[in-house]
Structure 1
Amino acid sequence: MNEVIAQKFATAGVWDLEPDQKSFIHAGLRCELRRGPVGAWCGYVGVDEAHPWFGKHYDAVVDGVPPENATIAELGVMSALFSGQDIDDVNRRAPICLLVPCHEGLTYANKGSHIEPDSKLWWFGFDCSHSGDLSPKSIISFDDDVYRDIEYATAATRKAAEAISFAASNLVREAA
C-alpha cells in the first residue's frame, strides 16, 4: 500500500521553522501577518472608523505626498506606473498606495474577513509573492528569487503601519 504524505510546502526551507501567522501592535495600529495561497507572507495593517482612510481602496486619492525616501520596490512598480499620474503636487494629494511603503506596494484594502472574521477594522495589505520573490508552495522558481522571511515581512508591515498612522495624525494636525 502506498502512503500519501501531505506536504505543507513544495520544498523544505527556512519557512518550515516559521509560524503561519503573527499579530502585533505597531504605531498604534493592529498588524497581522498571514501566509498567502502560495505560502508567501502577506502583511496587513488595520484602521478603525476614525481613520480618514477607513473604507477606502488602496488606489483612492487622498491628502498627502509620497515619501521622498520611498523606493519603487517599496511602492510597487505597478502602483507607480498606473497610479503615478494621479499625484497632485499642487494640492498635495496622491493615491494611498503611493503613500505607504511596504513590499512592492499595497495590493489589498478591505474588511479582511479572512484576517479576523469579526473585525470592525479596515485592512490595508501587501504580499511577498511578486516577481523575484521565492514562494514556498511554488514549484517554479529561479536561481535569483529571494524568500522574504517573517523578519522581512514584519519590518515591511511596521513601515506600512508607520506611514498609515502618520497619515492620520498629519491630517488631524492640518485640520486643527
Structure 2
Amino acid sequence: MAKNPKPTKALVPVATAVQYRPLAGTDTMPVEVYRVPDRHPSGEGPWKAEPDKLTWIDPDTGLPCIMRRGNDGALCGYVGVGPDHPLAGVGREALPQDPPIVVHGGIDYASACEEYEPQHISVCHVRVTRAVNPPFDSSTMVALAKLPDDLWWFGFSCDKPYDLVPRDRHHIRPLGLENGRVYRDERYVVRETTNLAAQLHAVAEGLPMPELKGERPAVGLASFEPGARR
C-alpha cells in the first residue's frame, strides 16, 4: 500500500494567490495547484503566471495526470496507470515501438510513485486538498476514490535541444535563437499529457492508437523522433 508523502511547509498552493481556474486550453478543473518558489523561473516570461505543479483526472480515460516543473524551470507531464495495466512496471527502454507511444521528445520517465517526496514536487497520487467545496465535479471525486494504491507513472520532459529551458535562457548562444527554441507552456504540456493518457488507455483496452491533438514541435536544426530517448 502506498505511503502518504511527506508534508511540507514550503509549498504554496496557487489557489490562495490567484484564481482557481480550468487547466489551460481545457474545461477540466485541477485537483491540486501548487506554486513552488524554488522551482519557479525568475524574470519575465510566459511562465510568470503559471503554477509549478498541477494534478487532475483526465475526463476521457479516468487516468491521473500531473504537470510538474523541474529544477531547470522546464515543465514535465506524467500519467499514472494501475497494476493491472499491461505496461505497469515496464521501464522506458522496454516500451513498445510498433507503434510507439508518441509524446513530446519521447517518454523519458517510468517509475513507481515517489511516495516519500513532498506532495508539491512528487510524482505520486493525485490527492484532494483540504477544500470544503472542491471546484471539480463529482465524477472526479469518484475517479479519485477508485485510484489503486500502486501506480506506475510515465512521463516526458520539455528540456530537449529544441526547447527553451528557462534557467538556461541566458546562456544560449546566438545560434540557439536560430534553432527555433520554444518554451513549452502549460497549455502545451497539458495537451501532451492528455495525449499520453489517451495512448496508455488505448494500450490497456487493446484499441488502435488514437489520433493525437496538436502538432509535435517544428525543430529547426534538430529532427523530432517520437521514440527518442534521453
Which residue identity lines up with residue 149 of structure 1 in the other structure?
Answer: D
1:65 to partner: Cα distance: 2.9
1:61–1:156 distance in 2 versus 1, CA, 3 Å: closer
| Aligned partner (choices 38, 41, 59) of residue 9 of structure 1 | 41
Q: Secondary structure at the match of 1:130?
A: coil
> Does the alignment pair 1:146 with 2:177?
no
Residues 72 and 166 in structure 2, CA contact (< 8 A), matched pair in contact too: yes
Q: Secondary structure at the match of 1:167?
A: helix
Superposed CA deviations along residues 129-160 of structure 1, whole A, max 9, x for unmatched, are 00010111223232221000000001111101
Residues 54 and 66 in structure 2, CA contact (< 8 A), matched pair in contact too: yes
Structure whose residues are more often helix by fraction:
1
**In structure 1, C-alpha distance between the alignment counterparts of 2:95 and 2:109, rounded to whole Å:** 15
> Does the alignment pair 1:161 with 2:197?
yes
Which residue is equivalent to 2:81?
47
**In structure 2, C-alpha distance between the alignment counterparts of 1:159 and 1:61, rounded to whole Å:** 16
**Number of aligned residues:** 133
**In structure 2, C-alpha distance between the alignment counterparts of 1:7 and 1:48, rounded to whole Å:** 29
**In structure 1, C-alpha distance between the alignment counterparts of 2:41 and 2:68, rounded to whole Å:** 15
1:8–1:41 distance in 2 versus 1, CA, 3 Å: closer
1:11 to partner: Cα distance: 3.6
**In structure 2, C-alpha distance between the alignment counterparts of 1:109 and 1:22, rounded to whole Å:** 19
Which residue identity lines up with residue 134 of structure 1 in the other structure?
Answer: L
Which residue identity lines up with residue 168 of structure 1 in the other structure?
Answer: A
| Aligned partner (choices 29, 46, 54) of residue 22 of structure 1 | 54
1:8–1:167 distance in 2 versus 1, CA, 3 Å: closer
Which blocks of at least 5 consecutive residues in structure 2 are unaligned? 1-37, 115-121, 127-148, 208-230
1:125 to partner: Cα distance: 0.4
Which residue is equivalent to 1:116?
124
Q: Secondary structure at the match of 1:124?
A: strand
1:8 to partner: Cα distance: 4.1
Give the fraction of aligned pairs with identical amino acids, expressed as a percent: 36
Q: Secondary structure at the match of 1:59?
A: helix
Which residue identity lines up with residue 101 of structure 1 in the other structure?
Answer: V
Residues 11 and 137 in structure 1, CA contact (< 8 A), matched pair in contact too: no
Superposed CA deviations along residues 80-134 of structure 1, whole A, max 9, x for unmatched, are xxxxxxxxxxxxxxxxxx2x11101000000130312796210000000000101
Which residue identity lines up with residue 152 of structure 1 in the other structure?
Answer: Y
Which blocks of at least 5 consecutive residues in structure 1 are unaligned? 1-5, 67-97, 172-176
**CA RMSD of superposed structures (Å):** 2.3
TM value normalised by structure 1 = 0.68
